[in-house]
Amino acid sequence: MIPGTSVLRQVPTWQSQLSRAITDPAELLATVGLGEEWLPAARAAALLFPLRVPREFVARMRRGDPHDPLLRQVLPLAEECLTAEGFGADPVGDLGAMPVPGVLHKYQGRVLLTVTGACAVHCRYCFRRHFPYADANPAVDQWHSSLEYIAGDPSVTEVILSGGDPLTLSDRRLAELISRLEAIPHLRRLRLHTRLPIVLPGRVNNELLDWLGSTKFKTVIVVHANHANEIDASVTLTLADLKSTGAQLFNQSVLLRGVNDRADALVALSEVLFEAGVVPYYLHLLDKAQGAAHFEVTDVAARQLMLELNSRLPGYLVPRLVREFRGAPGKVLMV
């Protein structure tokens, strides 16, 4: 009798890091050195939208400071449990722009695939915190419906992978999807919207760089950083690796009260991004998702900030202040 053998699959380091993310408010508070007085509100808000933050991101936070700009982005607060007029579950009209599950077709020439509902970090201001991912899964039929829809519209030249975060998928699954997209002749560009290179830089491994570097598409990677403190040496190296594949790197931020709503913070962010090879492209006014109203910065204050940025930075380092409106043909410039 030939003895059976088993092959143990080695789990990539980034997946181990992802599985070790902090999901318990008590652990987060203890790790950053805050007292238990924050715990009841954090637990109540986390019931509405679960806490999730990689330890590698938490390590960049200032201990004992409840106003740390990185902590404020992920710490559940009592304000999330309040209702606010004008804030809802589908703030930018995603559900009305989904012709087949997981395909958002809002703008001429490009479609977005919500390839997963998973993220490495649950940002408390997330505009898709109420999104019905279970009903909007383009992989439910092995991508057939979504690929058929894209192939049937020759005006679509660009596909955006979003989520969730597309880089929470394995490199095998991503490479397989890219290969199938490459078979659609009218597609020219691939865009990835991802926060993982910022919050979990170890995600950018050789396997990811290999398929990114070998695709026939012109590739754009849009990362998401809101504050200069998010960009440490490990993130800078990761961004350089992504740039080495030939991809164009852009950043989009959200203007957030208590995080980056000062000119000094936005100037520092643009400077550190550019040093890392990333163009500071968009500064979004907050999408009005229920539970995120405490992050809102008024249009008047936002425009004043842009005046200050224009006086202190060269034009190529000034991000575009934009808002997304339901039904609009594109992002709307606010200055």
Say which CATH number the domain at 188 has.
3.20.20.70
Q: Do 201 and 236 belong to one domain?
A: yes
Q: Which of 57, 81, 105 is the last residue of a domain?
A: 81
> Quick check: is 87 in a domain?
no
Residue 20 and residue 165 in one domain: no
| 25 & 148 share domain | no
**Residue that terminates a domain, selected from 81, 107, 134:** 81
2 in a domain, yes or no? no
* Any domain includes 121: yes
Enumerate the β-bridge partners of residue 219.
190
> Are residues 282 and 253 in contact, defined by beta-carbon separation less than 8 angstroms?
yes
Which residue intervals of 22-98 are DSSP H helices? 25-32, 39-48, 55-58, 69-74
Q: How many domains does the chain have?
A: 2
The DSSP call for residue 224 is -
Phi and psi torsions of 286, nearest 5°: -55, 130
For residues 159 and 217, state if they share a domain: yes
- Taking the CA atoms of 294, 295, 296 and 297 in sequence, report the sign of the dihedral they define: positive
Structural domain that includes position 181: 95-333
Task: Report the alpha-carbon distance of residue 239 to residue 245 in Å, rounded.
Answer: 10
- Among 73, 75, 81, 69, smallest CA distance to 31 is for 75
Q: Looking at the structure, tell me whether residues 231 and 256 fall in a common domain.
A: yes
- pTM, two decimals, is 0.95
88 assigned to some structural domain: no
Q: Does residue 74 belong to any structural domain of this protein?
A: yes
pLDDT in tens, the chain (335 residues): 344 444 456 889 999 999 999 999 999 999 999 999 999 999 999 999 999 999 999 999 999 999 999 999 999 999 999 999 999 999 999 999 999 999 999 999 999 999 999 999 999 999 999 999 988 889 989 999 999 999 999 999 999 999 999 999 999 999 999 999 999 999 999 999 999 999 999 999 999 999 999 999 999 999 999 999 999 999 999 999 999 999 999 999 999 999 999 999 999 999 999 999 999 999 999 999 999 999 999 999 999 999 999 999 999 999 999 999 998 999 999 98
User: Does some domain include residue 7?
Assistant: no
